[in-house]
């Protein structure tokens, strides 16, 4: 069984995090999110994966190589210009030799891929599309189907009061190879907006596979933070242990811990600092005396000065938060940014390093 994982998007909504780190390499509990997705595929028995990439591809290819260290076969195909979610599939057609999964590279879900495959085989459809229930379907592609699951209509981002259902496209597809025949070559094509609606209009059998699995699209900072909270709470089971977890947990002074937290290797934390709850430290972070870091995600090598406060913040690698600074809720600090001592950042600040 093969899978295509789409990893070519620019991830504009996650900027400034994605200015240096492409979205698939953004860490989830200190592991690049794409590595988690690939391990999940492997567990489901899928070890032949094609990855259409295009934005900062070297950061992805240099980490994964040919995938043999994961016991997988990975092939990257770099798009010179973005081809969209269906154009990217057409562009890798020569590598596909049968039915295949397609995964959006930014979806964290507990979906059981084997169960989805069994459902696809049961219906005999041309395509099976994973759906979940959304409280507010207006931000998603709404799917209408009959009682057998056969899809009747696709409505992309309808106004909330006009959405005909709350079942939405969750970004995991199982496609027969024949779907590729319906995608024009050599231009950008969206699978959600163009290919699926065209197949339905042509009367082809597409089926819904609706589950109540955990599901979140990591593509916005609030969702990226929320996903970590859900992992800590075990709403999204990733095996994180309560209290202090992570390879660096033994080096954390107990007086500083407000669990749950996850700590990378080589961190130095002052005994009178406060770390947590719901906080992740990457490798080699330093948390100074009296500093408070709560509900926050710090990537590798972040330095938090004495008495600084961070709450509900995301801080990319190598950034430095000066002594006494206050980082407002929802702020996102880019790679290598230096926040001067005693700065008060407004909530939801977005700060990227300026080119020197
Ligand atoms: P935003 O810019 O924040 O909207 O993020 P994005 O560019 O990643 O777009 P979106 O979240 O809609 O993309 C969904 C999935 O499709 C992600 O896994 C993207 O990496 C992927 N993707 C989107 N456009 C392309 C494309 O043109 N080529 C490839 N190969 N992948 C794409």
Domain extents for the chain? 2-221, 255-351
User: Domain 255-351 carries which CATH code?
Assistant: 2.160.10.10
Nearest CA to ligand 1 atom 26: 84
pLDDT for 161: 84
Question: What's the CA-to-centroid distance between 162 and ligand 1, angstroms?
Answer: 26
pLDDT for 148: 95
Sheet holding 286-287, edge to edge: 268-269, 286-287, 303-304, 320-321, 338-339
Question: What's the CA-to-centroid distance between 54 and ligand 1, angstroms?
Answer: 10
pTM: 0.94
pLDDT for 139: 86
Which of the listed residues 4, 5, 6 should we mutate to test ligand 1's pocket, taking the one with most ligand atoms within 8 A of CB?
Answer: 6
pLDDT for 254: 95
Question: What's the CA-to-centroid distance between 53 and ligand 1, angstroms?
Answer: 9
What are the CB-based long-range contacts (under 8 Å, 24+) for 111-117? 111/170, 111/172, 111/211, 111/213, 111/215, 112/44, 112/211, 112/213, 113/40, 113/41, 113/44, 113/46, 113/172, 114/44, 114/45, 116/172, 116/174, 116/209, 117/1, 117/174
Question: Which portions of the chain are predicted below pLDDT 50?
Answer: 356
Nearest CA to ligand 1 atom 29: 8
DSSP state of 26: S
Helix (H) or strand (E) holding 201: helix 196-201
pLDDT for 242: 87
Question: What's the CA-to-centroid distance between 9 and ligand 1, angstroms?
Answer: 3
Q: Which residues line ligand 1 (CB under 6 A)?
A: 6-13, 23, 52, 54, 79, 82-85, 88, 104-106, 219
Question: What's the CA-to-centroid distance between 87 and ligand 1, angstroms?
Answer: 12
Nearest CA to ligand 1 atom 22: 9
Report the nearest atom of ligand 1 relative to the CA of 188: 27
Nearest CA to ligand 1 atom 8: 9
Question: What's the CA-to-centroid distance between 8 and ligand 1, angstroms?
Answer: 6
Nearest CA to ligand 1 atom 12: 9
**Residues 6 or more apart whose Cβ sits within 8 Å of residue 226:** 216
Helices (DSSP H) in 70-128: which residue ranges?
Answer: 84-90, 113-123
CATH classification (class only), 2-221: alpha beta
């Amino acid at each position: 069984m093969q899978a295509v994982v789409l990893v070519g998007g620019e991830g504009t909504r996650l900027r400034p995090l994605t200015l240096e780190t492409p979205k698939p390499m953004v860490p989830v509990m200190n592991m690049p999110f794409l590595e988690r997705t690939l391990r999940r595929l492997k567990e489901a028995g899928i070890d032949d994966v094609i990855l259409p990439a295009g934005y900062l591809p070297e950061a992805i290819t240099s980490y994964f190589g040919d995938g043999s260290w994961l016991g997988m076969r990975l092939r990257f195909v770099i798009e010179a210009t973005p081809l969209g979610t269906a154009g990217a599939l057409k562009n890798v057609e020569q590598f596909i030799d049968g039915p295949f999964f397609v995964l959006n590279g930014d979806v964290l879900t507990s979906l059981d891929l084997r169960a989805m495959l069994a459902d696809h085989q049961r219906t005999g459809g041309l395509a099976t599309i994973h759906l979940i229930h959304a409280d507010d379907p207006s931000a998603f592609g709404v799917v209408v189907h009959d009682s057998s699951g056969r899809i009747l209509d696709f409505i992309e981002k309808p106004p909330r009061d006009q959405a005909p259902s709350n079942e939405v496209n969750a970004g995991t597809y199982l496609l027969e190879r024949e779907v590729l025949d319906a995608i024009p070559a050599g231009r950008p094509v969206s699978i959600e907006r163009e290919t699926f609606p065209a197949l339905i209009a042509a009367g082809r059998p597409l089926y819904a596979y609706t589950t109540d699995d955990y599901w979140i699209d990591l593509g916005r900072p609030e969702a990226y933070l929320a996903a970590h909270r859900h992992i800590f709470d075990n709403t999204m089971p990733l095996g994180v242990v309560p209290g202090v977890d992570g390879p660096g947990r033994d080096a954390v002074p107990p007086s500083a811990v407000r669990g749950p937290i996850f700590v990378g290797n080589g961190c130095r934390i002052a005994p009178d600092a406060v770390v947590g709850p719901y906080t992740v430290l990457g490798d080699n972070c330093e948390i100074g005396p009296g500093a408070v870091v709560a509900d926050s995600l710090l990537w590798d090598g972040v330095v938090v000065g004495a008495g600084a406060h961070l709450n509900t913040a995301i801080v990319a690698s190598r950034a430095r938060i000066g002594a006494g600074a206050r980082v407002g809720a929802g702020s996102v600090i880019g790679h290598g940014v230096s926040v001067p001592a005693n700065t008060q950042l407004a909530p939801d600040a977005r700060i990227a390093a300026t080119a020197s």
